Amino acid sequence: MNTIETYKERVFEEIKHIGKNGNEYWYARELMLALEYSKWENFNKVIEKAIDACQNSSINFNEHFPGVRKTLKMPNNATKEIIDYKLSRYACYLITQNADPRKKVVALGQTYFAIQTRKQELSEEEYEKLSENEKRIYHRNKVRSGNIKLNKTALNAGVKNFGEFHNAGYRGLYNGETANDIFKRKNLKYRQDILDFMDSDELIYNQFRISLTDQSINNNHIYGEIEACNTHNEVGKEVRKTIRKLGGTMPENLPTPNKSIDDIEIKEISDK
């Protein structure tokens, strides 16, 4: 595994947490170690600079740097309370911008969180300026977050076979094709993810399917695996009908990109 893959998959991804609502966050003390800071006092100064930068941009820092208290176990059954922060992607981006640039991992983090932050909410004008590869990265992130949220909704609805649940949605949207059928049609290799080999339009179709299914299960109080799968399938069919009605290209007829989104992200980081 090369340096970029190691940092991407282990340094930052492994310390990422997922909240109850599917939101991603990092603990400051874990990020401190990832950025090779040994003393909290030194790293806290970096956090303070990042908070100042956030406030200077007229952004509510409490939304990105919420403080939390943790209890540590000490010798002889004693305990100690320490302060930590639950950091958003944007907060991590600001922290890496204010961290020691001489550290190689800090330079990598600056690029990583810059790319990740850009994936979040974009204005229409900003979106139109993105290249196709950047749009793919943006919507892949949306699909990933949407699936995390949908999986929790499905779990609460009694779903246990998540493979069948997701295939129900794919079958509806792709005229009967399962995830494995899509995998074979795209001529992908072992362990390659079909979502990483979709163009921006195909990802948007799936993003719409995922979001509507999540809303439908919640709003209609769907419960039971069969009912949840049927709902996912029907939503997929309705999205397909809408595409046809508006004259769009059916998802199975959209081109398969030559490069995966993972390869594109690695290249962007390497080029920085």
32-68 pLDDT, tens digit each: 999 999 999 999 999 999 999 888 877 788 889 999 9
What residues are paired with 82 via a beta bridge?
Answer: 70
Predicted pLDDT at 138: 85
Summarised one tens digit per residue, pLDDT across range 183-225 is: 999 999 998 999 999 999 999 999 999 999 999 999 999 999 9
Q: pLDDT band at residue 270, thresholds of 50, 70 and 90?
A: very low
Vertex 43, ends 100 and 14: CA angle to 5°?
90
Q: What percent of the chain has pLDDT above 90? A: 54
**68-81 per-position pLDDT tens digit:** 988 877 777 777 88
pLDDT value at residue 8: 46
CA dist 249 and 234 (Å) reads: 19
